[in-house]
Structure 1
Amino acid sequence: MLNNLVCFLNTTWQWILHNIFSISALAVSLLTLHRNRTTLEVKFSPGIDRTMDLSTEIIDKNGNYIHAYRNVFLVSVEIINSSPNDIAYYDLYAFDPKTYNFLEFVNPKAFLFSHPGVGVIHYINKVTFNILNVPLEQYGVFKANSYTKFNLPIIVTDPDEIKNIDTLTVGFKAIKRALFRNTDKQSYYVTYNVKNLLQDSRFKKGYNNEIKIFITISEILNSEKLEDAFLYDELSKLDIILGELKNSEISDQALSDIVNMYKYLIENKTMLSVEVKSLLRDITKRSTLGFATENNQKRKDLMLEIKKDFSKISDRTITSTKF
């Protein structure tokens, strides 16, 4: 019995010695295959932010305002790819698990044709904002040995969804290399409780709008040359901002700033183009829309002042329509 065991061990040892290179190659291959497995460390933000209405904005490469959004949730996700391989991801999504309605992400891609270099920012108070790293596509690649952070602003536009959404699921899928298979799919997702967040009135009045109006009007008040082309550009920005606000969201200070701008134009600009006058007419309408039903006397006086000043501006001589 002992002789048989010794014989077996001796035979095994001889086999190992004769095949040592093959065994080593196999061990190295298995180790390499194990190390090359696609592994992602994914961390979603622990909570979801209900942002102030109109505090998530599209801006151009110079920081100028283009567009803002209401009813936005903000989520971030951090991804660490510690493997030596690039890992593809796809199907970046957000949806309501109760209705299976898919929601949209704020995406600057639609503005790239007319505004090269656009970006997305989020105001966290009246003057401070964060630049968001928003993916332009729902697919892409996590580079080998890399760290990636996405900010995902999610828009809810459907009126029924705004009233009834209780939970929100955000996630994506990735291609991974399994140990004994060529490829496999892995889903990463998280579900947040968002019940009643879109109904909370505290988020309805974006706190960055007053400062945006002030900055735009300040550009005009601080300009020594009130050329029509310059006025048209600045007044267009103001018209867009006011157009996205309800009348109640235009503060007393903003109305006062508009009054100051009108008086400045009356004192310093004797001739206006048709285009500039048209913009001023729109701005007047937007800022005095609630005049007839306004109960606050201070606001009513400011609106009346805007109307009177625009009447004076309207009587000015019109220049050529060409800038």
Structure 2
Amino acid sequence: MLKIAWEYILANLIALISLAISIYNLWKNRKNITVTYQENIEINFIDGIFVFDSNNEIETYKTTMTIKISIVNPSPNDIGFFDLRVFDPVTNINIPFLTYRTLPFTNKTVIRIVDYKNPKYYELDIPQRKLCF
């Protein structure tokens, strides 16, 4: 019985080595992505988000919300394509959101006013484009 097992292993040695290498490569090259986001969505003041247009005049966005998202790729390989989308989880309908490419102006700096009484201005980090999951 033991002789049959050894004969089988020797006859299939290349296949077994190939299987082991394939499983190792599958495990080593697995791709995953970690997404963390702020629990509470912040509702901004009306006209609390603005950008300067081509003539250096202020263009505001009326009703807006802000959320912080962190996307990390802990895998050893680059994940080239993923889709970042904002949607209503009940209806699955997409909600428009601001990206760098949707800004119609040459000056792509977006400013947020946090407090109108003691104005504090913050430059927002806007994604370059819709990314794809």
Q: TM-score, normalised by structure 2?
A: 0.73
Structure 1 SS opposite 2:101:
helix
Q: Does 1:122 align with 2:115?
A: no
Aligned partners of 1:52 and 1:88: how far apart in 2?
A: 34
Q: Distance in 2 between matches of 1:138 and 1:45?
A: 19
Match of 1:68 in 2: 60
Q: Give the one of 66, 86, 96 matched to 1:93.
A: 86
Q: Does 1:78 align with 2:70?
A: yes
Higher relative contact order (CA 8 A, sep 6+): 2
Identity between Structure 1 and Structure 2 (%): 19
Kindly provide the amino acid, as one letter, of the partner of residue 62 in structure 2: R
Asked if 1:137 corresponds to 2:129, the answer is yes
Q: Which has the higher strand share?
A: 1
| Cα deviation code 1:271-313 (max 9, x no counterpart) | xxxxxxxxxxxxxxxxxxxxxxxxxxxxxxxxxxxxxxxxxxx
Matches within 5 A, 1:245-256: none
Q: 1:108 to 1:27 in 2, by over 3 A?
A: closer
Contact conserved, 2:100 with 2:127, CA < 8 A, in 1? Answer: no
Please tell me the residue identity of whatever aligns with 1:9: L
- Unaligned stretches of 5+ residues in structure 2: none
- Three-state SS of the structure 2 residue aligned to 1:58 is strand
> In 2, are the aligned partners of 1:60 and 1:119 still within 8 Å (CA)?
no
Q: Given that residues 50 and 110 in structure 2 are in contact (C-alpha distance below 8 angstroms), is that contact kept between their aligned partners in structure 1? A: yes
User: 1:96, 1:39 → 2: CA distance?
Assistant: 23
Q: Which structure has the greater CA radius of gyration?
A: 1
Shift of 1:29: 0.9
Deviation of 1:129 after TM superposition, in Å, equals: 2.8
Higher helix share: 1
Amino acid aligned to 1:71: T
What SS does structure 1 have at the residue aligned with 2:85?
A: strand
The match for 1:30 among 14, 23, 28 is 23
Q: Is the Cα–Cα contact under 8 Å of residues 99 and 126 in structure 2 kept in the other structure? A: yes
Q: Counterparts of 1:85 and 1:11 in 2: how far apart (Å)?
A: 45
Q: Distance in 2 between matches of 1:110 and 1:79?
A: 21
